A and B are shown apart, each in its own frame.
Chain A
Amino acid sequence: MPLDQTAKSGTPFSKVGTRPLRPDGLDKVTGRARFGADMTAPGMLIGRVLRSPHAHARIRSIDSSAAEALPGVKAVITAADFLDRQDEHRDILVNVMAREKALYDGHAVAAVAATSAAIAREALSLIKVDYEVLPHVIDVEAAMRPDAPILHDNMFTSGVEPRPSKPSNVAARYQFGHGDVQAGFAAADVVIERSFRTEATHQGYIEPHACLASVGSDGQGELWCCTQGHFMVRDISAALLGMDISKLRVTASEIGGGFGGKTTVFIEPVALALSRKAGRPVKLVMSRAEVFRATGPTSSTSVRVKMGVKRDGRITAAEAELKYQGGAFAGSPVELGAMSAFACYDLENVSVIGYDVVTNRPKQAAYRAPGAPMSAFAVESVVNELAERIGMDQIDLRLKNAAKEGTRAAYGPTFGPIGLIETLKAAKAHPHYAAPLGPNQGRGVACGFWFNFGGQTCVSLNINIDGTVALAVGTPDIGGSRASMCLMAAEELGVSYDRVRTVVADTSSLGYNDVTDGSRVTFASGMATIKAAREAVKKLCARAAAIWGIPEDAVVWEEGQARPAGPNAGAFPPLSLREIAAMAPKTGGPIAGHCEFNAENAGPSFATHLVDVEVDPETGRATVLRYTVAQDAGKAVHPAYVEGQLQGGAAQGIGWALNEEYIYGPDGRLQNPGFLDYRIPVASDLPMIDTVIVEVPNPGHPYGVRGVGETSIVPPLAAMANALSAATAVRFTELPMSPPRVLHALEARRMAQAAD
């Protein structure tokens, strides 16, 4: 049954769009919810990882004999305990445990399991690693220079013709665009070209990575861990350890934040390897310092943007060159940064080039709309400057050039229905945009785009004998998605919200589910839930038809009841879901609906952010005074949690803009691996964050849902930079805009003014 032809489309919702309490809420406000580090097992050992203190070093040898001899130590492992795979898992394998070289400060080189944390710690100190320290490179531009220390002798830049003859730190070159940018610039009245830099920032989830692994001598394993995708953990861990996938069962704990950072494995294969060797369960929990040193921050970047505009506000051409370092392995999100850079604009002439660069930093991991915030920072800063130069309102210029349905996106295809213009209009109409500003205050605007993804999804919906519903999904719930699933199932089945219970099932209970990423869960698991519920409804109707002795297609499902329709309408009293469920054991057995599919057409989400800041001209410190987010959610299933995503992304973006950064010493060691000096926003740093949810339905979803989780981090970097620039009359092109950097710029401006 095509989803778009069902009765539901176009009809008002009775459950979707309401704000019920989340089903996992009670456990989370009482301390009962079990997160990654909250699990124990009988006979459990404690695992610890030894990490490289060097940014770049050849590992000549590892002597673990003294550690192995320490009483209480039950296993010591190194890279030799994993399969030496040369396939697509190679980089993950080498990142999980260094092989020939340690590639960054914090790179795992060995691990132990012992009867106590104290013994494990002592054992680490007894492992002797003979390092040959090599020259290192941290900065993205430095890594691209011909004389830079080379991380991988086998890295030859892809995407370049002819293939380079020498290895380099540039893994790949990407390019997108269409039209003739030179002609476009020639037609412009004003052309602005600027270079920008952003520092690496960490996802900063409050829960460190944690897992509990147990592998028996029969080769069967159990793993409990906090992850955005336990099926991914299962498949990769099995591959690295040479296990059959069916032998490993992974259960996702409650997850204490991820933002993309828990879409890969770090300690999980290590704990499994330790457990396999020790023959006992092993719990492995990262310290906060390990999280910063060894898990993925996002890229630091260097971006050049050039744009031209006519006096009437029409943008004639846009060009960008992006350089993203993704740590010690290929795979920075530069390609996504390049594709999304100009996605907000309807451009005839556009050209984007991107370089994926490796450096001696931890392997980057996805971070909320990976790659997009940095290129948007650069583009949206230049757009504002264009508006200033031609004397046009910053929203009006964007409205004039905004991408809409039918626009050919800068990355190629043509957009379907999208809501950018609606968010711009919502921002312009918001009282925030007209509010007066005081001295040293400025207002910034920026737009953002994210693709959104669907992906492989499998859910199971079972009708219980009492008429309640058990829904099993395979996508870890990172921000309230179980509530949304319950809402959608209840909507379809016509039962009340609290009669549906959604759980995140383990890997042995469902087919494969892609990780919780790409803002996909409410969209994809939601669509699977709807399909599964519709299948269950079909079976419920069939059961009622059989009971009544009428054809199946003569039964309709309305308001949680099967009713005879057509010629039989009114012939039998309706049968409720509860009644049919109660009779199920005697009328054919259990009733369930399932869905396994690959969700596509996620439908992009656009946003416009407004922010007011005040800058202390004597110290350079910026205070966020007011913040408003307008974003297209397609259809907000649980508006409170949609607002939460919008507010959370804005807060992370504010941190990125103002104070968050990876700081390296000349020795290539990370200097701020803790929440004291890696400064994420605290409650007193922020105002309330106002939200406007725009709803332009996504035709790819039966309710019109679009993902909302990621787009909200795309505009804030530029919105903040535009606001600071408006407050100070200085254009900021480097993040973070920390007080020393801002004060320096203000002093330079004062000096220049004095000289005039």
Chain B
Amino acid sequence: MVQVRLGGTLQSYSGGRSTFEIEGANIGQILAGLGEACPRLKPLLEKGVAVAVDGEIYRGSLLHPVRPDAEVFILPRMAGG
């Protein structure tokens, strides 16, 4: 199980809950699991989010592996100028 934390804004879709225990070996599996655990988050997750794994931000790598003890943080989708 990976401990997954939500950025503040996403918490308003999880009834204020900020931490989830999700089964998954990569980012895609964790996002899918999170969508199962909290269906209201699903449309946001599908629209696209960024995922910080041990402080490194991934915006489009669903297949990136995640160790069970990794720090996983779900962030909004981001872009620059």
A contacts B: CB pair < 8 Å: yes
Q: In the complex, which of the residues B54, B58, B59, B80 contacts A369, with contact meaning CB atoms closer than 8 Å?
A: B80
Is A411 in contact with B61, judged by CB distance below 8 angstroms? no
Is B61 in contact with A600, judged by CB distance below 8 angstroms? yes
What is the CB-to-nearest-CB distance from B3 to chain A, in angstroms, rounded to a whole number?
13
A-side contacts of B69, CB under 8 Å: none
What is the CB-to-nearest-CB distance from B42 to chain A, in angstroms, rounded to a whole number?
14
Size of interface on B: residues with Cβ below 8 Å to A: 27
Whether A451 touches B80, Cβ cut-off 8 Å, given contacts A160-B12, A175-B12, A177-B8, is yes
Is A411 in contact with B7, judged by CB distance below 8 angstroms? yes
Is A161 in contact with B81, judged by CB distance below 8 angstroms? no
What is the CB-to-nearest-CB distance from A631 to chain B, in angstroms, rounded to a whole number?
16
Instruction: Return the chain B residue nearest A368 by Cβ.
Output: B81
A-side contacts of B71, CB under 8 Å: 413-414
Is A600 in contact with B58, judged by CB distance below 8 angstroms? yes
A-B contact sample (6 more), CB < 8 A, given A175-B9, A414-B71, A415-B55: A159-B12, A366-B80, A411-B7, A451-B57, A517-B80, A600-B61
Contact with B along A173-197 (1 / 0, CB 8 A): 1111100000000000000000000
A700 to B59, CA, bound (A): 14
Residue A259 lies at the interface, judged by CB distance under 8 Å to chain B: yes
A-side contacts of B54, CB under 8 Å: 414, 416
Residue A339 lies at the interface, judged by CB distance under 8 Å to chain B: yes
A259 to B81, CA, bound (A): 6
A547 to B1, CA, bound (A): 52
Whether A174 touches B8, Cβ cut-off 8 Å, given contacts A416-B56, A600-B58, A601-B56, is yes
Contact with A along B39-81 (1 / 0, CB 8 A): 0000000010000101111111100100000010101101111
Chain B interface residues (CB < 8 Å from chain A): 5, 7-9, 11-13, 15, 47, 52, 54-61, 64, 71, 73, 75-76, 78-81
A-side contacts of B13, CB under 8 Å: 159
A-side contacts of B11, CB under 8 Å: 175
Residue A419 lies at the interface, judged by CB distance under 8 Å to chain B: no
B-side contacts of A520, CB under 8 Å: 80
A719 to B37, CA, bound (A): 46
Residue A452 lies at the interface, judged by CB distance under 8 Å to chain B: yes
Residue A342 lies at the interface, judged by CB distance under 8 Å to chain B: no
What is the CB-to-nearest-CB distance from A199 to chain B, in angstroms, rounded to a whole number?
18
Is A260 in contact with B61, judged by CB distance below 8 angstroms? no
A-side contacts of B7, CB under 8 Å: 176, 339, 411-412
Size of interface on A: residues with Cβ below 8 Å to B: 48
A485 to B61, CA, bound (A): 24
Among A339, A352, A366, A700, chain B packs the most CB atoms within 10 A around the CB of A339
What is the CB-to-nearest-CB distance from A348 to chain B, in angstroms, rounded to a whole number?
16
Whether A455 touches B81, Cβ cut-off 8 Å, given contacts A335-B9, A412-B5, is no
B-side contacts of A369, CB under 8 Å: 80-81
Q: What's the count of A-B pairs with C-beta under 8 Å?
A: 108
B-side contacts of A733, CB under 8 Å: none
Residue A564 lies at the interface, judged by CB distance under 8 Å to chain B: no
Whether A416 touches B55, Cβ cut-off 8 Å, given contacts A161-B12, A176-B8, A453-B79, is yes
What is the CB-to-nearest-CB distance from A383 to chain B, in angstroms, rounded to a whole number?
22
> Which A residues from 445 to 489 make CB contacts under 8 A with B?
450-456
A601 to B54, CA, bound (A): 11
Whether A263 touches B57, Cβ cut-off 8 Å, given contacts A175-B9, A175-B12, is no
Is A412 in contact with B76, judged by CB distance below 8 angstroms? no
Can you sample 16 A-B contacts with CB below 8 Å? A88-B47, A159-B12, A161-B12, A161-B15, A261-B81, A263-B81, A412-B7, A413-B71, A413-B75, A451-B57, A454-B59, A517-B79, A518-B78, A518-B81, A600-B61, A602-B57
> A-B pairs with the 9 shortest C-beta distances?
A260-B81, A518-B80, A413-B52, A366-B81, A175-B8, A414-B55, A174-B9, A412-B73, A413-B73
What is the CB-to-nearest-CB distance from A708 to chain B, in angstroms, rounded to a whole number?
12
> Which A residues from 517 to 567 make CB contacts under 8 A with B?
517-520
A-side contacts of B59, CB under 8 Å: 453-455, 598, 600
Instruction: Return the chain B residue nearest A414 by Cβ.
Output: B55
Instruction: Return the chain B residue nearest A454 by Cβ.
Output: B59
Among B12, B13, B15, chain A packs the most CB atoms within 10 A around the CB of B12
A451 to B76, CA, bound (A): 13
Instruction: Return the chain B residue nearest A415 by Cβ.
Output: B55
Is A451 in contact with B56, judged by CB distance below 8 angstroms? no
> Which A residues from 124 to 165 make CB contacts under 8 A with B?
159-161
A-side contacts of B80, CB under 8 Å: 260, 366, 369-370, 450-453, 517-520, 707, 710
B-side contacts of A160, CB under 8 Å: 12
Residue A367 lies at the interface, judged by CB distance under 8 Å to chain B: yes
A-side contacts of B75, CB under 8 Å: 339, 411-413
Residue A3 lies at the interface, judged by CB distance under 8 Å to chain B: no
A-side contacts of B81, CB under 8 Å: 203, 259-261, 263, 366-370, 517-518, 710
What is the CB-to-nearest-CB distance from B6 to chain A, in angstroms, rounded to a whole number?
9
Is B9 in contact with A413, judged by CB distance below 8 angstroms? no
What is the CB-to-nearest-CB distance from B74 to chain A, in angstroms, rounded to a whole number?
8
Whether A336 touches B60, Cβ cut-off 8 Å, given contacts A159-B9, A413-B73, A416-B55, is no
Whether A453 touches B78, Cβ cut-off 8 Å, given contacts A411-B7, A416-B55, is yes
Instruction: Return the chain A residue nearest B48 by Cβ.
Output: A88
A67 to B14, CA, bound (A): 55
A454 to B80, CA, bound (A): 10
A-side contacts of B79, CB under 8 Å: 263, 366, 370, 453, 517-518
